Amino acid sequence: MICERLGIQAGAVVPTFHRTGNMGAATLPLQFTLAREQGRLDPGTKTAVFGLASGASGGVMLINW
C-alpha cells in the first residue's frame, strides 16, 4: 500500500520481513546486502531508504551509493 500511494513500483523494493521477521535496525544493512547480491546496487545507484515505526513516526534518507 505504501508503494502504491508513493507511486513506487513494488519490484523496486527489497523485502526481507517475510523471510526474517522484524530485525529492527539490522533490516537496512540486510536489504543493502541482498540488493547488492541481486545486482541491483552498483556504485552511483540512487536509493531511498524508508524507515517506519509504530505510531506515527517515519523517516526517509536518500543515498547515492
CATH at residue 23: 3.40.47.10
Single out the residue of 3, 7, 6, 5 nearest to residue 15, CA to CA.
3
pLDDT at 5: 84
pLDDT at 10: 83
* pTM for this prediction: 0.65
- Cα–Cα distance between 59 and 29 in angstroms, integer? 16
Cell of 24: 529492527
Split into its structural domains, the chain has a count of 1
Q: How far is CA 58 from the centre of its chain?
A: 13
Cell of 41: 546496487
Q: Which domain holds residue 13?
A: 2-64
How many percent of the chain have pLDDT more than 70? 97
